Chain A
């Protein structure tokens, strides 16, 4: 029997309740929703594709020339294209985006656990049907998925441009399937960044400090990469000889950083050591790049870094402290 006057005091909840198994998705969903609202991240994403953007602009002008200047322009475009190795362009785009990926990772992940630590948020999570694994997986996905998306969008854009404009210049045959290689590269790269920042974030109780430590880690490890680049520069000689005189162990140091290991992954999967940007240097210079590392070497470093991030986070987030 219903009364004409409603009872607005407390009442129980008898609406639908989901199962208790996929709680990590609720956490990830909240994180992602919050992240995609951050406009600055989208700006960074656009900026991370700067290499692709410049290439597209160059192509665009060459094409215009080819259309307007007749055979002469056509010649210029063909000459330029002759120096372009498509998979190297994807490698370059991915490599040059690294710094911005790092900034994006910082913004996405530095505060993820650190701020929770300060506010005792773990108590809220764990007193609900979430486990520690749910919590960490949710937080990790909340970094990984937006990062993956933001790494792939510029690449996808460049690829679509190639597919539409250069199909007649052999793009489809040479690079049509490259996008399928770029996906695992971005997946592995984003997974690495997300794992590392998750570990760093869990160690602190202020997002800012976690961010600074992550940046420090990035910069310090990048020292190796920069060091090898400089070594190559000062080696003198041309092309292959430049690299050949440096011991391979030293060359491998190039990959011992957060950037480097992601570039290694890209080189392994794309199967190229890369070439000079913007098709410069000609074929002669092509071998003046750090050679493709052994896939086992890459896999070991990748695994070690991911495992370290997770292990730290797993140790730092302690379920036992829920009460008292």
Chain B
């Protein structure tokens, strides 16, 4: 079952059309939402939250109508906004518990779960501190905590690694992965950092110019026509190409020490030939795998 179904949605801001006749089924699991600036990503998130008054079209999110049941949707969905946000003058525990009460949880349940969620988000030690005193990384975590407090079935994460340093970013991605896999929470991640999407999501939705451009498994998007193999050598070696061709393997392209080759048969058969060729010319194979595009390449091609 789809988490959200949007049908023929057209949204206009004045003369600007943010989404035009947009239809999508957002599948369960962890989905990446990609698109250049101004593509309609933000409008789509607003739609999913039931904020948008479309010119035409409609849809359902978690079974609730986006036109009439906005508040009900927001009770079932958790949003982690891109900007820093908190309620001033509160400790982390009180803030997250209050967010839970706003979502309709009874006070005592909200407070109990607030401790639990903060612990989970790695703020256990700092939970009695004022949110104002938090660092960038901690503010990012508390935004996630307040989005999770009411146990949403769908989590919307808008640029969740914004402003984080490499360590903070890695921890945040790990957190997102763990909540989206095996915890029965569906996640939509909107991010400009495509490697983040690659690491957390299984599927992507690509939006550009108010239209759905592509949708599917990341695995499939990254596939290269004809399933060639990328071979990485320790260093460039012109003789290697020749040795390969003698053994019936065609070279498609070479980029520094990485060679893209196309052979017949199973990857393990091609592998054998590659190893043989490398040994013959006295070079070392450092890597050998089915060729894949980066998500970025795939993305840039899709939106072009």
Contact = CB atoms under 8 A, between A and B. Distances in A.
A and B touch in the complex (CB under 8 A): yes
Contacts of A27: 102
B49 A127 contact: yes
B88 A121 contact: yes
A111 B98 CA distance: 18
Given A30-B98, A128-B74, A115 B89 contact: yes
B88 A10 contact: no
B85 interface: yes
A324 B72 contact: no
Identify the interface centre among A14, A16, A126, A127: most chain B CB within 10 Å of its CB: A127
A212 interface: no
A18 B104 contact: yes
A18 B104 CA distance: 5
Interface in A103-119: 111, 115-116, 118-119
B35 to A, nearest CB: 12
A17 B75 contact: yes
B46 interface: yes
A15 interface: yes
Interface residues of B, number: 49
Nearest to B179: A10
Interface stretch (A71-79, A83-91, A302-310, A315-323): A315-323
Interface in B120-178: 120, 132, 146-151, 153, 158, 178
Contacts of A9: 120, 178, 183
Interface in A1-41: 8-21, 23, 26-27, 29-30, 34
Contact of B74 (A21, A29, A129, A323): A129
Contact of B178 (A10, A20, A123, A319): A10
A12 B184 contact: yes
B86 A121 contact: yes
Contacts of B88: 111, 115-116, 118-119, 121
A129 B106 contact: no
Nearest to A20: B71
B1 to A, nearest CB: 17
Contact of A10 (B83, B120, B153): B120
Contacts of B101: 26, 29-30
B75 A20 contact: yes
Interface string A124-137: 11111111000000
B86 A124 contact: yes
Nearest to A129: B71
A120 interface: yes
B99 A128 contact: yes
Contacts of A116: 87-88
A286 B106 CA distance: 56
B205 interface: no
B24 interface: no
Interface in B76-98: 78-79, 81-89, 98
A17 B102 contact: no
A323 B158 contact: yes
B71 A13 contact: no
Contacts of B150: 13, 17, 128
A31 to B, nearest CB: 11
Interface residues of A, number: 42
B113 interface: yes
A14 B151 CA distance: 7
B105 interface: yes
A129 B87 contact: no
Interface string B31-62: 00000000000100110010100000000000
Nearest to A119: B88
Contacts of B84: 119-120
A119 B85 contact: yes
Given A118-B88, A123-B85, A15 B74 contact: no
A127 B81 contact: yes
A323 B49 contact: yes
A215 B48 CA distance: 43
Contacts of A126: 51
A26 B178 CA distance: 31
Contacts of A122: 85
A18 B120 contact: no
Given A19-B104, A27-B102, A322 B49 contact: yes
A43 B89 CA distance: 22
Interface string A282-324: 0000000000000000000000000000000000000110111
Given A322-B49, A324-B42, A12 B102 contact: no
Nearest to B87: A121
Contacts of A19: 104
Contacts of B184: 12
A323 B151 CA distance: 21
A80 B35 CA distance: 82
Nearest to B153: A12
A166 to B, nearest CB: 45
12 contacts: A9-B120, A12-B153, A15-B113, A20-B74, A23-B102, A119-B86, A120-B83, A120-B85, A121-B88, A122-B85, A324-B42, A324-B158
Interface of B: 42, 45-46, 49, 51, 70-72, 74-75, 78-79, 81-89, 98-99, 101-106, 109, 113, 116-117, 119-120, 132, 146-151, 153, 158, 178-179, 183-185
Given A123-B85, A322-B46, 18 more contacts: A10-B117, A10-B179, A13-B113, A17-B103, A34-B89, A115-B88, A118-B88, A119-B84, A119-B85, A120-B85, A121-B85, A124-B99, A124-B102, A127-B147, A129-B104, A130-B74, A130-B102, A324-B158
Interface of A: 8-21, 23, 26-27, 29-30, 34, 111, 115-116, 118-131, 319-320, 322-324
